[in-house]
Amino acid sequence: MKVLMFGWEFPPHIAGGLGTACYGLTKGLAKHDVEVLFVMPSASGDEDESAVKIINASDISVADVWSKADISRLDSFLSKVSFFKVSSGLVPYIDPEMFSSMVEGQEKRSRYEEYEQFKIHYGGKYKFSGKYGANLMEEVQRYAMVASAIALENDFDVIHAHDWLTYAAGIAAKRISGKPLVIHVHATSFDRASDNAIDPRVFALEKMGMEAADKIMAVSNLTRNIVINKYGIDPSKVVAVHNAVDFNEFKQMEVKRGVDDKIVTFLGRITYQKGPEYFIEAAYKVLQKCPNVRFVMAGNGDLMNRSIRRVAKLGIADKFHFTGFLRGDDVKKMFAYSDVYIMPSVSEPFGISPLEAMKSNVPSIISKQSGVAEVLDYAIKTDFWDIDAMADAIYGLLNYPALASMSARCGVEEVNNLKWENAALKMIDVYQEAIDNLK
Amino acid sequence: MEKSLCLYFQVHQPDRLRLYRFFDIGNDSQYFDEFANRTILKRVAQRCYLPMNELIYELIQKHGKNFKVAFSISGAALEQFEQYAPEVLESFKKLASTKCVEFLAETYSHSLASLKSPKEFKNQVKEHSAAIKKHFGVKPKTFRNTELIYSDAIGEAVADMGFTTMLTEGAKHILGWKSPNFLYTNAINPKLKLLLKNFNLSDDIAFRFSDRSNPNWPLTSDRYAAWLAEGAANDDIINLFMDYETFGEHQNASTGIFEFMRALPDAVLANTELKFCTPSEAAAKHQPVAPLHVPYAISWADEERDTSAWLGNELQNEAFEKLYSLEKGVMAAKDEELLADFRKLQESDHFYYMCTKFFSDGAVHKYFNPYDTPYEAFINYMNVLSDFALRVEKKTSKKK
């Protein structure tokens, strides 16, 4: 089986959990002899290619592919490209009227002329920044353009697109190749913002992708329910495939701890979704009872400054530390420093970092509103808003060694059983179903 | 009655902190960015301290007793001179030998101790006076608090330490209709005389000198002397107080600031009734006109002329409170290294970097700030302070 996979990031260049998950699941698939063609914008060349073949979307010349193609193939391309009209408002680099005239053809111009014009304006290589930026919408669309070129050039059995950024690319590839499309929902708009702050353009893209997909994988039942309820998708199409975690290269780090105090760690983006304020309030409560604790908020995000002000206001800044964004070894170092890990997410489709913490023998507290809560028994679960319960749990893990050691010991075992190979088996089933359904 | 013109320059360099990460806490107690501190000091020495000291020396040679200035050099700056640029210290000593220069007392580490801890305030003033005596052979008689911070209570404490004259800002919200160009006294202890900064005329040099959008640009010594004469027409004293780094650093040499200063004494002495004198001479020469009531602390900083540049938001207040909560422990530990770091961590600059008043006085704040945001400044400072607190704890628990 060969999979054409569209992603947006891949280790080591990652802004969030999506890259890590892509890496793990492609490796899991490789174990079962599934070939993956991973397409991402702006591959910088130092990604780990042992399990996947990475195609850098910036290196694909749309014009090259077309000039190789004969006119009839170009014809078919242009007829298949018509789906772009669905989101023409999102195509800033092309005037919608010009676009439709080009695609549908006008009497006075031949197809070839159109192609020539197209090449002049839009041929050559597209340069992707590959970062989440202001012209993201534009990049999403350009990525879809390139996707169709890639789909023409390569052979594969199924298309797999990760998150809304690549849905348009997945759809384009499906239209060109006729192969089934599986989309993978790692997060939805509802996890990124509160219900009344949803970006309608993103929502529309997500819904379009979900409707066009033959099968949908969601990273948890929590996310599966959101897909079904908020986007109105047929439940039979949606399958929960829980993430796993790849610890093959995991080495516990030896650190010299400079402080005797116990350390409670929050590690993640400091955004609404992650519930940083609940962590701060719980920390304040714990500090009233036991002073020999330090709290660390590792990461950055749009709520960071507000969090710092709140900590200062509560007068606990000598016990509450901010590290800024951590990467690579510093993350491991942070886990090695920690006595308790906490993830108070307001909405977390899955949440891989508690698994990393537990693998490092750090007992974890997670919110019930996280997907990872569905697969963990030995993490303490509280509601994200329940700062009293959270403070209780922190206090318990710090002061009752039996609780902490059991959580740590059983946690490692539990986490060791979450393997990408197993998740990959489930994914292969989904692929197969998508292929069979289309036959 | 003779009229007086007081020139006073503040000389200070902070001990900037290095990037101090959470992982360093408890593992590494080297807090300061020696490279940055050395580089900046050497640059400022070349551009400002050395050429300006030389210029003042020449002017004193030329005018004899008719040209006088005053300096307040923070202990932090003195230490940096000793360490990185002893030639600067030598040139200040050369100025001291002319007897036309008055050295003022202040807090050793340019701190805000006067706002928090009377005991620490007193200790630092003593330490600074001793350092001035050691380097320049005179015991200071006039006091100038960090950034001209002053209130009735601070003035009283300063008078209790035996000082007879103190400098502060001629803040509009305190003076109202009154002129800064007279001698005032402390509201609690009238023995302490107050010299108030004339901020309009001071800022004409310190901030506006090279501003080409100013209709008065370019400012010549003659025109400026005419303004001084006008300002002093019905008044006694004009106090021009500014950062010494104005000359050659904030206003670089190409603006003509050195030529302006070179010509200023001639212009003033030839065309006005003003006589250059030191703060203590001015205070002795003139009669105080009234007590000045300052219930809440004022300073020379920003539009507000209060302490909000250092203690104006919750970040600054938290860092300040946590710092001084360690005072008792540091004193009990009686450890020299600990005390030295405690003094350096008190430098007002650390709190200035955490200021969030970006809009009105943003340009000035940005110029002096090694951090991109006040939040970074706060995090870095608190990390350092956490390590420092651990050291204090260790030392004091050993004593017990």
Closest approach of B389 to chain A, Cα-based (Å): 9
Summarised one tens digit per residue, pLDDT across range B240-275 is 999 999 999 999 999 999 999 999 999 999 999 999
Spatial separation of the C-alpha atoms in residues A6 and B372, rounded to whole Å: 37
User: Is A72 a domain residue?
Assistant: no
Q: Are B114 and B146 in contact (CB under 8 A)?
A: yes
Q: Does B379 touch chain A (CB under 8 A)?
A: yes
Q: Does A327 touch chain B (CB under 8 A)?
A: no
pLDDT score recorded for residue B302: 86
Beta bridge partners of B197: B169
Spatial separation of the C-alpha atoms in residues A300 and A302, rounded to whole Å: 7
Same domain membership, residue A240 and residue A274: no
| Token output for A217 | 């994988």
User: Is A94 a domain residue?
Assistant: no
User: Is A381 a domain residue?
Assistant: yes
Same domain membership, residue A319 and residue A229: no
Same domain membership, residue A311 and residue A216: no
User: Is A249 a domain residue?
Assistant: no
Spatial separation of the C-alpha atoms in residues A65 and B330, rounded to whole Å: 73
What are the average pLDDT values for consecutive 10-residue runs of chain A, which has 439 residues?
Answer: 82 68 83 82 64 67 48 39 25 31 38 40 47 61 80 88 89 90 91 74 90 95 94 95 78 81 93 93 95 94 93 95 88 92 93 88 94 92 95 94 91 90 92 89
pLDDT score recorded for residue A121: 38
Q: Are B69 and B261 in contact (CB under 8 A)?
A: no
DSSP β-ladder status, A158-162 and A181-185 = parallel
Same domain membership, residue A12 and residue A135: yes
pLDDT score recorded for residue A104: 41
Alpha-helical regions (H) of chain B: 34-44, 50-63, 75-84, 86-96, 118-136, 152-160, 172-175, 199-206, 221-231, 257-271, 279-285, 308-311, 314-324, 327-333, 336-345, 348-352, 362-367, 374-399
Same domain membership, residue A267 and residue A179: no
User: Using the beta-carbon criterion (under 8 Å), do B385 and A305 form an inter-chain contact?
Assistant: no
Number of domains in chain A: 2
Contacts of A309 in chain B (CB under 8 A): 313-315
With residue A5 as reference, give the H or E element that holds it.
strand A2-6
pLDDT band at B99; cut points 50, 70, 90? very high
pLDDT score recorded for residue B158: 97
| B73 Cβ neighbours under 8 A, 6+ residues apart | B11, B12, B92, B103, B132
pLDDT score recorded for residue A435: 93
pLDDT score recorded for residue A89: 25
| Cα separation of the two ends of chain A | 16
User: Is A109 a domain residue?
Assistant: no
pLDDT score recorded for residue A35: 83
B281: annotated active-site residue: no
Q: Which domain holds residue A276?
A: 262-416
How many Å is the Cα radius of gyration of chain A?
A: 24
Same domain membership, residue A205 and residue A268: no
A124 sits in the region (left: phi over 0; alpha: psi -120 to 50; else beta) called: left
User: Is A115 a domain residue?
Assistant: no
Residue among B22, B317, B322 minimizing CB distance to A318: B322
Alpha-helical regions (H) of A93-220: 96-104, 111-122, 136-153, 163-177, 189-192, 200-212
Give B49-111 as a 3 state SS string: HHHHHHHHHHHHHHHHHHCCEEEEECHHHHHHHHHHCHHHHHHHHHHHCCCCEEECECCCCCE
Contacts of B25 in chain A (CB under 8 A): 258-259, 321
Summarised one tens digit per residue, pLDDT across range B225-244 is 999 999 888 999 999 999 99
**What residue type is assigned to position A411 of the chain?**
G
Beta bridge partners of A184: A162, A217
| B280 Cβ neighbours under 8 A, 6+ residues apart | B102, B141, B142, B164, B165
| Token output for A410 | 């059983």
Candidates B79, B102, B106, B147; catalytic one = B147
Same domain membership, residue A399 and residue A289: yes
Q: Does B373 touch chain A (CB under 8 A)?
A: yes
Closest approach of B321 to chain A, Cα-based (Å): 9
- Integer angstrom CA distances of residue A227 from A183, A184, B61: 12, 11, 86
Q: Nearest 5 degrees, angle CA B177-CA B181-CA B182? A: 95
Among A318, A321, A329, pick the best mutation site for testing chain B contact (most B Cβ within 10 A): A318
With residue A321 as reference, give the H or E element that holds it.
strand A320-324
- Residue A295's closest chain B neighbor by CA? B22
Q: Does B321 touch chain A (CB under 8 A)?
A: yes
* Mean pLDDT value across chain B: 93
User: Is A296 a domain residue?
Assistant: yes
DSSP β-ladder status, B101-103 and B251-252 = unpaired
Summarised one tens digit per residue, pLDDT across range B124-180 is 999 999 999 999 999 999 999 999 999 999 999 999 999 999 999 999 999 999 999
pTM: 0.81
- Residue B318's closest chain A neighbor by CA? A312
* ipTM of model: 0.83
pLDDT score recorded for residue A248: 65
Taking alpha carbons only, the member of A343, A264, A268 closest to residue A303 is A268
Q: Does A279 touch chain B (CB under 8 A)?
A: no
Residue among B21, B314, B322 minimizing CB distance to A313: B314
DSSP β-ladder status, B183-186 and B193-197 = antiparallel
Q: Does A322 touch chain B (CB under 8 A)?
A: yes
* Domain CATH for A238: 3.40.50.2000
Among A270, A309, A320, pick the best mutation site for testing chain B contact (most B Cβ within 10 A): A309
Summarised one tens digit per residue, pLDDT across range B342-399 is 999 999 999 999 988 765 555 666 666 788 888 899 999 999 999 999 999 999 987 6
Residue B101, pLDDT above cutoff 80: yes
| Token output for A276 | 């940083």
Spatial separation of the C-alpha atoms in residues A38 and A36, rounded to whole Å: 6
Among B20, B311, B318, pick the best mutation site for testing chain A contact (most A Cβ within 10 A): B318
pLDDT score recorded for residue A192: 73
Reported residue count of chain A is 439
User: Using the beta-carbon criterion (under 8 Å), do A305 and B373 form an inter-chain contact?
Assistant: yes
pLDDT score recorded for residue A336: 92
User: Using the beta-carbon criterion (under 8 Å), do A305 and B375 form an inter-chain contact?
Assistant: yes
Other Cβ atoms less than 10 A from the Cβ of B162: the count is 12
Q: Are B299 and B307 in contact (CB under 8 A)?
A: yes
Residue among B22, B27, B389 minimizing CB distance to A318: B389
Same domain membership, residue A215 and residue A136: yes
Please give the class, per CATH, of domain B3-292: alpha beta
| Token output for A154 | 């390569």
User: Using the beta-carbon criterion (under 8 Å), do B25 and A321 form an inter-chain contact?
Assistant: yes
Same domain membership, residue A171 and residue A27: yes
- Integer angstrom CA distances of residue B233 from A335, B229, B230, B240, B362: 71, 6, 5, 16, 35
User: Is A32 a domain residue?
Assistant: yes
Spatial separation of the C-alpha atoms in residues B90 and B57, rounded to whole Å: 12
The secondary structure of B360-386 as a DSSP string is TSHHHHHHT-SSSSHHHHHHHHHHHHH
Same domain membership, residue A291 and residue A358: yes
pLDDT score recorded for residue B265: 96
Q: Are A431 and A1 in contact (CB under 8 A)?
A: yes
pLDDT score recorded for residue B365: 61
